[in-house]
């Protein structure tokens, strides 16, 4: 499309020059002293939409895999066998008794 700048500047607000060639389209408008040129191409638009869909599919699959992995890790963390909890409790009691005996013996020997 070949249009002189004078013609574009004389273009009324909201009016546009348009030209199409097969699947390519060009539009020239004048708004508020600024000249806007817009071009589109149907095949390019289809390619952009294809890659956007591909991106969204990959993103959704990645988020789903991440959620699945987090749930699996959460199950592993929260499912400790009962005997491990019991063993830790018994170790805690034993350490408490040992510390109590050590502290009381130490205080008894210091008083005498």
Residue 86 has pLDDT above 70, yes or no: yes
Domain spans in the chain, listed from the N-terminal domain onward:
5-41, 81-112
pLDDT at res. 45 = 79
pLDDT at res. 58 = 96
pLDDT at res. 112 = 60
Average pLDDT for the chain: 85
Q: What is the pLDDT of residues 57-66, one digit of tens each?
A: 999 999 999 9
Contact between 13 and 31 (Cβ < 8 Å): yes
Which residue matches tokens 């390019």?
A: 44
């Amino acid at each position: 499309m070949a249009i002189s700048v004078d013609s574009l500047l004389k273009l009324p607000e909201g009016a546009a020059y348009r030209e199409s060639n097969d699947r390519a389209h060009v539009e020239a408008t004048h708004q508020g002293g600024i000249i806007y040129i817009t071009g589109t191409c149907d095949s390019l638009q289809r390619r952009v939409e294809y890659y956007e869909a591909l991106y969204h599919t990959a993103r959704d699959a990645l988020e789903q895999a991440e959620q699945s992995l987090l749930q699996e890790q959460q199950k592993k963390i929260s499912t400790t066998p009962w005997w491990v909890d019991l063993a830790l409790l018994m170790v805690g009691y034993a350490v408490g008794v040992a510390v109590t005996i050590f502290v009381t013996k130490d205080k008894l020997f210091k008083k005498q």
